[in-house]
Chains A and B, each alone.
Chain A
Amino acid sequence: MHPNETGSVVGIVSPQPLRVRIGWEDIRKRFSLYVGGVMVVFVLLGALFAPFFTPYSPIQQNYSAVLQGVSMAHWLGTDNLGRDTFTRLLFGARTSMEVTIGSALLGVVVGVPIGLLSGFYQGWFDDLILMRIIDALQAFPFLILALVLAAMLGPGIRNAAIAIGIGYIPIFVRTVRGQVLKEKNKEYIEAARMTGCRSSRLMIVHLLPNIMTPLLVQITLAIANGIVTEASLGYLGLSAQPPTASWGSMLQVAQGYISTDPLMAIAPGLAIVFAVLGFNLLGDGLQSRLNKRQV
């Protein structure tokens, strides 16, 4: 619970609505949160337990089952090397989540402490140096920065995660810093300071928990963006290397078969849309809950 929630009720009585009705807004907010949440859980389960959902191997080639259409044996058909498309989608989710969650971790581990410190202490270093570096990093279009970094670092899952994660750093620094600026002059921080609380404790024990929700919203939306970026890098051959399954590389292969086997291109794209939509809805849902709490 918010430390000053108990204090703020005094004297302010919110006007009672004349009639009680569940508006579309309420339904929409819960819809985003729950539907998004369920979609995200599906993606995570698929990624975590991929081998349990399919009898096929994602990399074993089978030349007697090349480019098959939809059937009971192969729900989404097979690719040009006879590999089951549904299986590769599941393992592609694994690649996608490995890269995006890894990059989000990098962004959080680097970005959150910087944001906390810069918002807490401010000063000329924050204003003239740090924030201008953040401005400069954010001037690069997210995808272009990831693409250029991945090109320099070399292809692979780890480097793709680093490339995307560096793009996350300025986003998280800004989110955390903005929230710290908003929170640090509130009464509960003042009170903690009065009791002789050290700055480090103020930041970690008092400030950090109170900026968690906006940070979580930002992480969720960043992951949505990261999934598209990972797919783009994969499409260009800069993420997971063959034969590892990735949604982007599946699209790249599929492009050679769009006139004869469009399903090869449609399926991975729908998987990307499903995952991105899930994270976007979840982020929206969290955001509107957050707004409600702040009002």
Chain B
Amino acid sequence: MAYAAKRLVTMIPVLIFLSIIVFSLIHLIPGNPAQVILGQDASPSSIRALEMQLGLNLPLPEQYLSWLGGILHGNLGRSLLDNQPVSQLILQSLPVTAELAVGTIIVAIAIAFPLGILAAVYRDRWADAVTLFVSTIGISVPPFWLGMIFLIEFTVRVHWFPSSGYEPLWSHPLRNLSVMTLPILATGFREAGVLLRMLRASLLDVLDQDFIRTARAKGISGWKVIFHHATKNALIPVITTGGLQIAGLLGGIVITETIFSLPGFGSLLVESVFSRDYTTIQGTALVAALAVVVVNLLVDITYGLVDPRMRK
């Protein structure tokens, strides 16, 4: 518990700086933000009204504190587009993105585990070289372009999958899965490439250690050593660094959602960029960063609890 508490305390400065970064975003807009948001022809009175609404008329530290106060109460402000609470817009979009993320992780694991183990076991042989080269191609293909190629092939040429028309998983499971399959595969391949490389490197480290030699010397069969002894130990660093990878995953999802017109977090961000809805942009950026921080914190704490060596 002490470990978890210590880990939480170190988070505090990070969260403070995170909030300052997100708060500062709106001040990056060249010129007067309210003027930019409302356009050239806006009357001075409407500009002043918007400044009041956004709190831009207050001195900077006061602006920050009142904004932060709102955040701490779960108030991310209101969309400049349709005056809806930003927190509500984000909450509505999260299930789509969560499903896409979970699906992506499943696809990535399904591809990366067998191939990563194969590459590590046949280290320096052709299977290793081919696997690594393929994974390098995997991480070099932008997910959103792969998504476009899938659309060309599987929805335009052969009509296997619909190109749009998202429905929630619980109410229309079949429709949902047929719409989600292509985007999940598009983002999954890249993540598989990343995961495969991490798993291979970690396995190679473990396979060089003494306890593996001991296990082999005791006469345990080759594959049993790989699965029971090596893979289990190789997973710890993979999951900790995999936690950091969640940021890359979120980034990859953003434009893929746009390509497949999925009403998720990424589409919300992109739409708010297009419509210059600065409060929604701020809100989504904050939630994305917080998600990454929380996932990494959970990964760390879980491992601290499971593996005493991690508590140092």
Residues in chain A within 8 A of chain B (CB atoms): 23-25, 27-28, 31-32, 128-129, 132-133, 135-145, 147-149, 151-154, 224, 228, 231-232, 235-236, 238, 251, 254-255, 258-259, 262, 265-266, 269, 272-273, 276-277, 280-281, 284
Contacts and interface: CB of A to CB of B under 8 A. Distances in A.
A152 B29 CA distance: 5
B254 A144 contact: yes
A243 B136 CA distance: 33
Contacts of A138: 247
Contacts of B292: 139-141
A151 B281 contact: yes
Given A148-B25, A153-B30, A269-B149, A276 B129 contact: no
| Most B-side CB within 10 Å, residue of A139, A140, A238, A280 | A139
Given A144-B250, A144-B254, A255 B259 contact: yes
Contacts of A143: 251-252, 254-255
Most buried by A among B15, B133, B258: B133
Interface stretch (B63-71, B139-147, B170-178): B139-147
A228 B142 contact: yes
Contacts of A277: 136-137, 140
Given A27-B129, A28-B128, 18 more contacts: A25-B123, A132-B16, A138-B247, A139-B290, A140-B289, A141-B251, A141-B292, A143-B252, A144-B285, A147-B273, A148-B285, A154-B30, A236-B270, A238-B273, A254-B148, A258-B156, A269-B149, A277-B137
Interface of B: 13-18, 20-21, 25-26, 28-30, 123-126, 128-129, 132-133, 136-137, 139-142, 144-145, 148-149, 151-152, 156, 247-252, 254-255, 258-259, 269-270, 273-274, 276, 278, 281, 284-285, 288-290, 292-293
Contacts of B290: 139
A82 to B, nearest CB: 22
Contact of B137 (A133, A272, A273): A273
Contacts of A139: 14, 18, 247, 289-290, 292-293
A28 B125 CA distance: 10
B142 A258 contact: no
Contacts of A280: 136, 139-140
Given A24-B129, A140-B292, A232 B247 contact: no
A232 B142 contact: yes
10 contacts: A24-B128, A132-B16, A139-B14, A144-B269, A144-B285, A152-B278, A258-B156, A259-B156, A276-B140, A284-B136
What is the interface of chain B mostly: helix, strand, loop, or mixed? helix
Contacts of A258: 148, 151-152, 156
Nearest to B123: A25
A140 B288 contact: yes
A254 B204 CA distance: 43
B58 to A, nearest CB: 20
State the majority secondary structure of interface residues on A. helix
7 nearest A-B residue pairs (beta carbon): A143-B251, A136-B17, A141-B251, A269-B145, A132-B13, A25-B124, A277-B140
Nearest to A270: B145
A145 B284 CA distance: 11
A152 B129 contact: no
B146 to A, nearest CB: 8
A283 to B, nearest CB: 10
Contacts of B270: 147, 236
B13 A129 contact: yes
A152 B284 CA distance: 14
Given A228-B142, A259-B156, A269 B248 contact: no
A251 B30 contact: no
Given A238-B273, A251-B145, A262 B288 contact: no
A149 B25 CA distance: 7
B251 A142 contact: yes
A272 B289 contact: no
B25 A144 contact: no
Nearest to A138: B247
A224 B20 CA distance: 29
A262 B152 CA distance: 7
Contact of B21 (A136, A141, A142, A235): A136
A235 B259 CA distance: 10
Nearest to B30: A154
Highest count of chain B CB atoms <10 Å: which of A144, A145, A259: A144
A69 to B, nearest CB: 15
A232 B144 contact: yes
Contacts of A137: 17, 21
Nearest to A229: B251
Contact of A141 (B26, B136, B247): B247
Contacts of B140: 224, 273, 276-277, 280
Nearest to B132: A28
A66 B140 CA distance: 31
Contacts of A128: 13
Contacts of A140: 21, 247, 285, 288-289, 292
